[in-house]
Amino acid sequence: MSLFQRIKNVFTGQSKQEEEKVSREEAELSEEQPVDEVKPAEKEKIIEIEEDASQEEDQTERFVSTAVEEKEDIQEEIEEVKRFDRGLDKSSKSLKRRINELLANFRYIDEEFFEDIENMLIESDVGFEATLEISDILREEAKIENVRTMEDAEELIVKTLVDIYENSIPPYEGVHLNEEGLSVLLFVGVNGVGKTTTIAKLAHQYIEEGKKVVLAAGDTFRAGAIEQLHVWGDRVGADVVSSEIGGDPAAVVFDGIKQAKETGADILMVDTAGRLQNKKNLMLELEKMHRVIQKELPEAPQEVLLVLDATTGQNALIQAKEFKQTTDVTGIVLTKMDGTAKGGIIIAIGKELGLPVKFVGFGEKMEDLRPFDADNFAYGLFSDLIEETV
Ligand SMILES: Nc1nc2c(ncn2[C@@H]2O[C@H](COP(=O)(O)OP(=O)(O)OP(=O)(O)O)[C@@H](O)[C@H]2O)c(=O)[nH]1
């Protein structure tokens, strides 16, 4: 019996005994009528039937393998939703608790009720602008829908928040990488936000996909940063290019490009210093790096990913605004979402910065850095509440 038939039997639940019975019958059949004794016309017919059967088998084989692939895709999607759900557990529980507290004091819709909602949103790091917008929507909707009971108020709050999440987060664009040839990703952000580990996690994921990655230690300011990148490079299997402490970061980028070209690498990831206190220097440094990349690789897509630590809340937002003035940030990596109870920061980033979040960090493991997905994010944050309201 062919391997395909055996796999098919596993799918259709055919038992081993049945398999053996079919094999026995097949053997008996071929014994009963030796091929030599078959007449030419019958022989032709048999060949025709066999060809048809083999075509059908090919078709079924393709069908089964598509079905298996689809099943694997669905399983992966479920896993991804679970990762967001786990990563946002603190924020989700805190949001549920805050809304329950708010509703516990509910008597009727009045000014105090809206003030409580505004405080709750500010405390969840939603940001001032978005808080006022949400509060205005709630006031209007509460009137239109004539909200009177606690249950109606709860439904209105959850529905409005889910809508806001869906509408205020810029659509996910992914990272722009060249199909062929080298792509450059520049990472900016202050010390301690998770820049180096983000580079390592992403490098690991790209290497797993079969891409070749070179890392450049553009933060030449601190010996620790250079060493750390070397350690990660060794661990994930990426070449690391660096200079002496105090070296020119643009020269490191130049060397990184050279090394990447020579070794046929697909992606060059550049770590940079995040000295916001010396904005002028930082700006000049980043401009010089851009110029080098532009000159050496005019066709290469360049991404400037700003890494922000979600646990620092409004500080992260202030940093982001300053970096935005300093360089052309193309996207955000929001780390340590697992460590904050204030999932609202994602709304503030969308509303106040207008920058797409490209990755979110849910922990310290390699696979804890995930491509951002607004639906999964909203699900992770609101699943408990939605289950409660529906
Ligand atoms: N819980 C959690 N920890 C994270 C996450 N991302 C990074 N970290 C941790 O944050 C700490 C700082 O990360 P680094 O990558 O060293 O930060 P950095 O921005 O490179 O900092 P410097 O090297 O000081 O510039 C490390 O202990 C990381 O493991 C995350 O998504 N969740």
Give me the amino acid identity at 350: G
60-74, 85-99, 126-140, 327-341: which range is least confident on average? 60-74
Read off the DSSP letter of residue 302: E
Q: What is the rounded end-to-end Cα distance, in angstroms, of the chain?
A: 52
CA 239 – ligand 1 centroid, Å: 21
pLDDT digits (tens, 9 = 90+) for 131-183: 998 999 999 999 998 888 888 888 888 888 888 877 777 777 788 888 888 99
Which tokens in the block code for residue 248? Answer: 């020119």
Q: What is the pLDDT of residue 386?
A: 64
> How high is the pLDDT of residue 4?
39
Which pair of tokens denotes residue 254? 């130049």
Please tell me the number of Cα atoms within 13 Å of 175 on its side-chain side: 25
pLDDT digits (tens, 9 = 90+) for 352-379: 888 889 999 999 999 999 999 888 888 8
In the chain, % of residues over pLDDT 70: 88
Ligand 1 and 191: CB distance under 6 A: yes
pLDDT score for 32: 53
Q: How confident is the model at residue 38 (pLDDT cuts 50, 70, 90)?
A: low
Confidence at 11, pLDDT banded by 50, 70, 90: very low
pLDDT of residue 211: 95
Q: Are 343 and 95 in contact (CB under 8 A)?
A: yes
pLDDT tens-digit readout, 170-221: 777 788 888 888 999 999 999 899 999 999 999 999 999 999 999 999 999 8
Q: What is the CATH number of domain 183-372?
A: 3.40.50.300
The full set of domain ranges for the chain reads 3-85, 89-168, 183-372
**Which residues belong to the annotated binding site for GTP?**
189-196, 271-275, 335-338
CA distance 187 to 362: 18
| 270-315: pLDDT as tens digits | 999 887 777 788 888 888 999 999 999 988 778 999 999 999 988 8
* pLDDT average, residue stretch 331-340: 94
Which residue puts its alpha carbon closest to atom 1 of ligand 1? 363
Are 114 and 147 in contact by the 8 Å Cβ rule? The answer is no
Q: What is the mean pLDDT of residues 258-275?
A: 93
The phi-psi region of residue 191 (left if phi > 0; otherwise alpha if psi is between -120 and 50; otherwise beta) is beta
DSSP element (H, E) containing 347: helix 345-348
CA of 241 from ligand 1 middle (Å) equals 21
| CA separation for the pair 381, 217 (Å, rounded) | 36
Q: Is 170 in the pocket of ligand 1 (CB under 6 A)?
A: no
DSSP H/E element including 203: helix 195-208
What lies within 8 Å, CB to CB, of 221 at 6+ separation is: 245, 246, 273, 275
Residue 145: CB atoms within 10 A of its CB come to 12
Query: Which residues have C-beta within 8 Å of that of residue 235, sequence separation ≥ 6?
Result: 200
- Ligand 1 atom closest to the Cα of residue 274 is 25
Classify domain 89-168 at the CATH class level.
mainly alpha
Between β-strands 357-361 and 369-371, what pairing exists: parallel, antiparallel or unpaired? antiparallel
pLDDT at 104: 84
275 close to ligand 1 (CB < 6 Angstrom): no
Binding residues: 189-196, 271-275, 335-338
Type of residue found at 338: D
